[in-house]
Amino acid sequence: MIKAGLRVSGLAVAGTILVAGAANAQQVISRTSGYTVTWSDSAFAGASALYAASYAYGATAFGPTNFNISVVANAQNFAYLQGGGVTVSSPTPTAPYPSTVTATYSGDGSSGFWGWQYNTAAGASGSGLPLTYGRLGEDATLNFDVGGFDDSTYAPPIGYYVFVTLPGDWTTPGTSPGDYIFTGVNPIFSTPTFTYDSGTNTTTVESFTTAFVTGEPSLSFTLVGSVVPEASTWAMMLTGFAGLGFAGYRTSRKAASVAA
């Protein structure tokens, strides 16, 4: 079993997908889903996720085959991935994207892969997105939760890998800022590993199964961020800063008068 598709194409990515219907199942080597999560600061403001999924195929030719992809409502920058002997002949859809995108792919007899990618922003709970905001005590939190597709048409079972790339070091379990809280994964998947790479300053969360038939990864975890002041707190802080600034100005003016 190999990690193909995203790893082959050098991509790591994000979203929530429902996949249905693919022929020539015996050609599948593995499926890979990758998520790259980004944010602008430690409070997770402006968090977004780039998603990509791909299927790798063995060296046997197969004709045009349709594959239905369900895309989340606020998907952006949808694009197909393809490489080796597998190609996609469907035109790339344009935004706003339909709820179901049908891709037509085929293989020329040499090993290859095809897939798709798009990015999304974090949303409210229940929005169907992999990222949601929350609070843990007084700390901001970013919740990741993905799953929901059907690969039951494949036989024999395929290998399936899911991984998430995060900026920074998230290898410490706990409830303090900078920690992660692992909340669950489908029982047939391996317990996720949280591995930090100092060279890229990123943490990769990875889980896999070599006997996937149907269901979903249900991989979920929470990142604990820094304290996010409430709006009223911000107002008081700004007022305080303004008062300190004015007091400093008065003091400097008084000192200048005495010196004169």
Return per-residue pLDDT of the chain as tens, 260 residues.
Answer: 223 333 333 333 332 222 333 444 445 678 888 999 998 877 788 888 999 999 888 888 888 999 988 888 778 899 999 999 999 999 999 988 888 999 999 999 999 999 999 988 776 554 557 888 888 888 889 999 886 555 555 555 678 888 999 999 999 999 999 999 999 998 888 999 999 999 999 999 999 888 766 666 788 999 999 865 544 433 443 444 344 444 443 444 444 444 44
Q: Which residue bears the tokens 């050609």?
A: 27
DSSP 132-183: EEEEETTEEEEEEEE--B--TT-SSPEEEEEEEEEES----BSSSTT-EEEE
In terms of domains, do 157 and 218 share one?
yes
pLDDT for 86: 94
Whether 121 and 48 have beta carbons less than 8 Å apart is answered as yes
Query: How far from chain centre, in Å, is Cα 64?
Result: 30
At residue 26, what are phi and psi to the nearest 5 degrees?
-65, -15
Between CA 44 and CA 142 the distance in angstroms is: 7
In terms of domains, do 126 and 250 share one?
no
DSSP 170-185: ---BSSSTT-EEEEE-
pLDDT for 9: 30
Q: Which residue bears the tokens 């999560």?
A: 37
Alpha-carbon distances, residue 172 vs 49, 197, 221 (angstroms): 22, 14, 12
Task: Print the domain residue range for 242.
Answer: 231-260
At residue 246, what are phi and psi to the nearest 5 degrees?
-65, -40
Count the domains in the chain: 2
In terms of domains, do 240 and 223 share one?
no
The CATH number for 145's domain is: 2.60.40
46-66 b/e with 16+ CB inside 10 Å = b? Answer: ebbbbbbbbbbbbeeebeebe
In terms of domains, do 258 and 247 share one?
yes
